[in-house]
Structure 1
Amino acid sequence: MATIAAILGRILIAILFVVAGANQIMDPERAGADFLSAGLDPSLVIPAAVIQIVAGLALALGFATRIASLVLFVFTALTILFFHRDFNDPAQVDLLWLNLAVAGGLLLTFAYGHLVGSWKTVRARREGEVEANEARAETHQAELDKARAEGRAEGLAEAARGRDDTDVVVERPVVDTDGDGKAGT
């Protein structure tokens, strides 16, 4: 359950950034006006949107989760510093608190996101499962080889004690000398 919660939480945080970046790309004039009112160059709208989309997708997919969450944390901190400085405006204060909560979630993702449901952990788990399956197969084959050897040894021991040779199965190599798939010529 914790794995599902961690993955879902990471995806929900990522959606916030992907949608915001897409909105900035679809309406760069409005976003540029927001940047200008914050004292920033409007030409930064598209690079900021690309950062949000790329890092958001990486976070959602569990690819480079620590780097993506750190990039988005810095982005969110800069957003708080540049866009939510007017403490007399209740709407700005509300957005400041929301962005602080998102920044906290990103720090948690940075701290623990690489441990649960990330691309690396899924791949490592699969590699571990493959290695475990191979080890089980090797163990099974070794047990079969041991049982065959014990059976041969018992058969030879009975033959050595003078029992009927019909009960003993002795494997002899088959040599196909003429290439027709049968022993002999």
Structure 2
Amino acid sequence: MGDIAVFVGRLLIAALFAAGFAQKIADPGAATVLLTDRGLPGVLVWPAAAFNLGAALALVAGWRVTPVAALLAFYCAITSLFHLVPEDPWQMSIFVKNWAIAGGCLCLAAQGGGRYRIARLR
């Protein structure tokens, strides 16, 4: 049961980051505004999109899960700061959600990729 739970958890977290990639590609404007409002160049949306896609694919494949999940936890912690707007309940829910995802990624980093991964099939 544990290996199945790790596999399903990897897929669910990967789906979130794959959706983040799709959202940034389909409508980069929203993420660009978050970046530029904080004084960062809007062009950073593209490396963020690439990271989202690469990390999602790595989790699906089970490739280097520990470092990828640790990087994702760090990414979630940093991106949560874009949503730290105490007077906006919606933004605060995203802020908390990012920390919850970071926690899930840390658990995945600690657990590792589990049995069901492409790297293990070789």
**TM-score with structure 1 setting the length:** 0.61
- Give distance in 2, aligned partners of 1:112 and 1:41: 36
Aligned residues: 122
Report the residue type matching 1:5 in the other structure: A
Larger Rg: 1
Select the structure that is richer in helix.
2
Q: Distance in 1 between matches of 2:2 and 2:114?
A: 11
Partner AA of 2:20 in structure 1:
A
Instruction: Find the counterpart in structure 2 of residue 99 from structure 1.
Output: 98
In the superposition, relative to structure 1, how do residues 24 and 58 fare at CA in structure 2: closer, same or farther (>3 Å)? Answer: same
1:86 match: secondary structure:
coil
Deviation sequence 1:112-147 (CA, Å, 0-9, x none): 023443444x34xx7xxxxxxxxxxxxxxxxxxxxx
Aligned partner of 1:21 in structure 2 is 21
Gaps of 5+ in 2: none
Residue type of the alignment partner of 1:60:
V
Percent identity over the alignment is 37
| Matches for 1:25-64 after TM superposition, within 5 Å | 25-64=25-64
In the alignment, is the contact (CA less than 8 A) between 2:3 and 2:115 conserved in 1?
yes
Using structure 2 for the length normalisation, give the TM-score.
0.89
Partner of 2:7: 7
Residue identity matched to 2:22: A
Distance in 1, matches of 2:83 and 2:34, equals 11
Equivalent residue for 1:141? Answer: none
**Distance (whole Å) between structure 1 residues aligned to residue 8 and residue 111 of structure 2:** 14
Cα distance between partner residues in 1 of 2:67 and 2:118: 13
1:69–1:106 CA contact under 8 A, matched in 2 = yes
Task: Indicate yes or no: 2:81 matched with 1:78.
Answer: no
Q: Contact between 1:65 and 1:118, CA under 8 Å: does it hold in 2? A: no
Using the TM superposition, give the Cα deviation of residue 44 of structure 1 relative to its aligned residue in structure 2, in angstroms.
0.2
> What does the per-residue CA deviation read over 1:22-52, in whole Å, with 9 as the maximum and x for residues that have no partner?
2101222332122212332101000110001
* 8 A contact 2:10–2:108 mirrored in 1: yes
For structure 1, list consecutive stretches of 5 or more residues without a partner in the other structure.
Answer: 127-185
- Render the CA deviation track for 1:137-172: whole Å, top value 9, x for unaligned: xxxxxxxxxxxxxxxxxxxxxxxxxxxxxxxxxxxx
Q: Which amino acid aligns with 1:104?
A: G
Higher relative contact order (CA 8 A, sep 6+): 2
2:66 counterpart residue number: 66
Distance of 2:96 and 2:28 partners within structure 1: 25
* Residues 107 and 84 (structure 1), Cα distance of their counterparts in 2 relative to 1, 3 Å cut: same
Q: CA deviation at 1:103?
A: 0.5
